[in-house]
Structure 1
Amino acid sequence: MVAITSLLLLGSFLFSTPSYAVQESWRVRDASCPDYKTFSTRRHTPVTNGPLRLPFQRPISECRTFSSKEVERVIKEVTGRIPDVDLSRLFENCFPNTLDTTVRWHVPGRSPQSFIVTGDINAEWIRDSTNQLSPYLPLAKVDNDIRTLILGAIHTQAEFLTFSPYCNAFQPPAQSHLKPSSNDQSDNVNPPYDPSLVFECKYELDSLASFLNLANMYFEQTGDASFVGSDPYFLEALKNVLQVLDEQALTTYDENGNDRRNRYIFQRQTNVGTETLALQGAGNPTNLNTSLIRSAFRPSDDATILQFFIPANAFVAVELKRAKKLLAAGGYAKMADELFSRGEKIENGVWEHGVYEHKVYGKVFAYEVDGYGSIINMDDANLPSLLSLPLLGFVDAKDEVYQNTRRMLLSKAGNPYFLKGPEFAGIGGPHIGVRYAWPMSLLTLIRTSDDDVEIAAALDLVKKTTGGLGLMHESVNVRRARDYTRSWFAWCNSEFGKTILDLAARKPHLVFGEGAESYSIDSVAGA
């Protein structure tokens, strides 16, 4: 009777199993696991003996959605070297959060599949899932379970893009037998989509770049390009990506000045301006001969104002060029050359049309342009961003244009979404509003900085603004840090894990103490 009562109190936590063959038996066992959406809003013991007394926020091992001995080894090795017990606890909670809580369905074997939700929303964003999995890529060299999980994610993303390449967020695959959910919106979208397959269909250029990014990272870490030809969806998805790029390279007017209807249309009944597109869903006009690609929405899922969104163009340029090695190794040399050429063309367009002379900061990158000379001058915390350009591989962090841009972005006078209050500071964006900065922006700041003082201050600020819950949040009120959005946001938890690993390798004294030796997950994975 006690056991039954406990099950009723804890509720249902229907996470899937690492094996489709035993999925149903796991569902029965998982009925005793708490819903992590609720679990993440409460403090759990043991708490640290540090000044923040941060709780332990991992589910018990039986309730974790995926397990990796190599990930556990990294956690033990890193936390064992961090003297700051609160910082150590944050890494312990955040680094494995994607594996612990968001692997809703995974089929291992020769044709693996993986469905990775973003956290408190039961859908997979291609961008989010790529970033969520990225900290574990180096371990794919030595951990076959991680390798299979990521290969499965590549397959599932490819399947999504085979059927709906304009869409950004997807329902569980039908074969998972997981119930789809609704976003409770009434959208008019062209091309049309099947709501049983698609959760939301906002066309975001960075989403397509993220698909390439995951495949490129996997190949670079493992040397395995066999999936290019063997995966039943990968090449078809890649062709669809290129078709979307071609369609979104077409501008509002042709060479004769005649207007043409955009292939992609999105209209939503809403009272929020960033949730729909102007001009009957086509978006504001773009001009000819820029070599840039339109993006209807930003990685925040907010509508672009000017559709040549520079961070996403920079990102897709890098990933197209990077994919040359993957495609060549997979036996597709002609396509490899085509992708590299496309990437070079877009890269040139970014430098030609996405850089302008600011009256205060000098030559800087614009956030959005339209090819007519109009510029949106800002940055948003969501990745890709202008602040993250070095992390994308588009530019060196020491580049003069980037440094000028960085000074602008981290200034209230230069960036309307740089927010600073008595309890928090960072870059936010229109998605939440002008009182909420995103911890993700400070994690990006840290990984693009070489200044120990700047890094230490940002890390301390992030550490102190988890609302006492020991997890990263989507955004934090700069005036009152315990006011935050999303207690379960796996993408940002992964970004925190990557940030600590970056500092452990690059500036070990800032996390391990003076005189500490560096720790590299890459070298550990290659051992």
Structure 2
Amino acid sequence: MIPKILLQKAEELEAKTAQKLPSLAPLAKQCFLNTIETTVTELPDGSAFVITGDIPAMWLRDSAAQLKPYLKYAAEDEDLKNILRSVIGKHAFYVNLDPYSNAFNSEVLKKGYSEDDHSDFQSGWIWERKYEVDSLCAPLYLSHEYYEVTKDSSIFTEEFRLMIEKIVHTFHTEQRHGERSSYWFVRENAWAPSDTLPMNGKGRPVNYTGMTWSGFRPSDDSCKFGYLIPSNMMAVVALRKAAGLLEAGYEDTALKADCLALAAEIEDGIEAYGIVDHPKYGKIYAYETDGFGNYNLMDDANSPSLLAIPYLGYRSAEDPIYQNTRRFVLSEDNPYYYSGKAARGIGSPHTPPRYIWHIGLSMQILTSTDPQEKQECLDTIARTHAGTNFMHEGFDVDDPSKFTRPWFAWANTLFAQMLEEEVK
């Protein structure tokens, strides 16, 4: 059953959009409701399970992102509160089971993204075991906003506290990946080199920086260099949110102090090792580094991204280094920025060349301070959904009728979230 508050807010969003952005009105209601209508199911035990869309598994990151537009209304509807509270509990269960997995099954199954995956831990609960720092950040963002809106202290179970403890321990371990971590991942018969980790599954060597290592990006592609800057930025914010949750729900002052100290270490590492003095743009944040002086200068449409820095809460949109970085990211100097006959924007190595992402366009609007730039992106979205009135993953910049993933709830969610901001 769809919570009544969401049906009401979908109608309101459609009406406001029809008034202010009429070309996007046909998309408003169905994109807003896409997650709750098509991806949230009730399991036999009464708990909620959230698939990502056309893949029948629950990603920690995607499920948190898909539910985000609904959080602000949680205090107004008990059915919605029950769904969100259930997902928060399921996140805690999954993270405590294995903090290195990014996607999970609804029950113990011999089922996953690939039967050719090998790692140091296996379970029938796991759909895919690609370690991504942002997967551990997402449950903290979700639960923090949920508590801020509802003040529902019932989420503060021992399992939830253990989740925070597990996340902090994992981030500490991965600060010295080569020395302390047992994690490795190999996918035989991978569709591309980015679908597995090099160096026998351990990834390329990294130096100690204070940042925490990530095997994979939010696109589920492997990192070229192990310190993924946007994900580390998300970790800084997430750890501070965790400290706030611990203060509200527990008397664990030691774990709270550890969260804050670790956030400071990671932030120091970002600022010391993650900034490059670019000859054209000045000081900018790199996408990845290894701490040995090697940098990957690019951005990917998936969030966390460099474009999303203000959205993540790491720095303001006016921050000068962010502004420099943004100019780089939205230029041809970013190898995954494409311009074509129908559109221009950020794509990903995860999708074909010259395909840009609706997630990237929505994020560009959410982080822009320029009304003209926002309008251009809104116009682009209005003419590139290929008549489906839904967002896609990537689409051809010359021919939007060519696209990937017609059912991608995260993209619909972020669009609806952006639209609410633009028409309020």
Q: Distance in 1 between matches of 2:101 and 2:207?
A: 24
The Cα shift of 1:225 comes to 3.1
User: Residue 273 in 1 paired to residue 202 in 2?
Assistant: no
Matched residue, 2:164: 238
Equivalent position to 2:30, from 93, 102, 110: 93
Q: Distance in 1 between matches of 2:311 and 2:366?
A: 8
Matched residue of 1:247: which SS? helix
Q: Distance in 1 between matches of 2:216 and 2:129?
A: 10
Q: Distance in 2 between matches of 1:86 and 1:446?
A: 16
Matched residue, 1:205: 133
The Cα shift of 1:71 comes to 1.1
% identical aligned pairs: 36
Equivalent position to 2:213, from 269, 288, 294: 294
Matched residue of 2:24: which SS? helix
The Cα shift of 1:421 comes to 0.9
Q: How many residues align?
A: 420
Matched residue, 2:100: 166
Q: Distance in 1 between matches of 2:366 and 2:251?
A: 34
Equivalent position to 2:48, from 98, 107, 114: 114
Matched residue, 1:361: 281
Letter in 1 for 2:363: T
Matched residue of 1:293: which SS? coil
Query: Superposition pairs for residues 357-396 of structure 1, below 5 Å?
Result: 357-396=277-316
The Cα shift of 1:325 comes to 1.7
1:388–1:448 Cα contact (<8 Å) kept = yes
Matched residue of 1:279: which SS? coil
The Cα shift of 1:467 comes to 1.2
Q: Distance in 1 between matches of 2:219 and 2:89?
A: 24
User: Residue 80 in 1 paired to residue 15 in 2?
Assistant: yes
The C-alpha deviation readout for 1:241-282, integer Å capped at 9, x for no partner, is 122112211143xxxxxxx47421011112511011111110
- Tell me, which stretches of 5 or more residues in structure 2 are unaligned? none
1:283–1:296 Cα contact (<8 Å) kept = yes
Matched residue of 1:226: which SS? helix
Q: CA RMSD in A?
A: 1.6
Equivalent position to 2:67, from 111, 133, 146: 133
2:52–2:408 Cα contact (<8 Å) kept = yes
The Cα shift of 1:165 comes to 1.1
Q: Identify if the C-alpha distance between structure 1 residues 106 and 70 changes in structure 2 by more than 3 Å, giving closer, same or farther.
A: farther
Matched residue, 2:116: 186
The C-alpha deviation readout for 1:147-188, integer Å capped at 9, x for no partner, is 1111100111111111111000000135xxxx7743233011
1:249–1:294 Cα contact (<8 Å) kept = yes
Matched residue, 2:40: 103
Q: Distance in 2 between matches of 1:372 and 1:156?
A: 38
Matched residue, 2:155: 227
The C-alpha deviation readout for 1:364-392, integer Å capped at 9, x for no partner, is 00000111111000000001000000000
Matched residue of 1:96: which SS? helix
TM-score by length of 1: 0.77
The Cα shift of 1:489 comes to 0.3
Between structure 1 and structure 2, the one with the greater Rg is 1
Letter in 2 for 1:101: T
User: Residue 314 in 1 paired to residue 233 in 2?
Assistant: yes
Which range moves more in the overlay, 261-270 or 122-131?
A: 261-270
Letter in 2 for 1:124: M
Q: Distance in 1 between matches of 2:225 and 2:272?
A: 16
Matched residue of 1:94: which SS? helix
User: Residue 157 in 1 paired to residue 91 in 2?
Assistant: yes
Q: Identify if the C-alpha distance between structure 1 residues 398 and 220 changes in structure 2 by more than 3 Å, giving closer, same or farther.
A: same
Matched residue, 1:428: 347
The Cα shift of 1:205 comes to 0.4
Matched residue, 1:214: 142
Matched residue of 2:153: which SS? coil
Q: Identify if the C-alpha distance between structure 1 residues 304 and 73 changes in structure 2 by more than 3 Å, giving closer, same or farther.
A: same
Letter in 2 for 1:193: Q
Letter in 2 for 1:393: G
Matched residue, 2:380: 461
The Cα shift of 1:306 comes to 0.3
1:113–1:151 Cα contact (<8 Å) kept = no
- Tell me, which stretches of 5 or more residues in structure 1 are unaligned? 1-65, 253-259, 505-518, 520-527
Q: Distance in 2 between matches of 1:134 and 1:219?
A: 13
Letter in 2 for 1:402: Y
2:173–2:180 Cα contact (<8 Å) kept = no
TM-score by length of 2: 0.96
Q: Distance in 2 between matches of 1:212 and 1:347?
A: 17
Q: Distance in 1 between matches of 2:30 and 2:421?
A: 17
Matched residue of 1:485: which SS? coil
1:116–1:129 Cα contact (<8 Å) kept = yes
Q: Distance in 2 between matches of 1:371 and 1:78?
A: 46
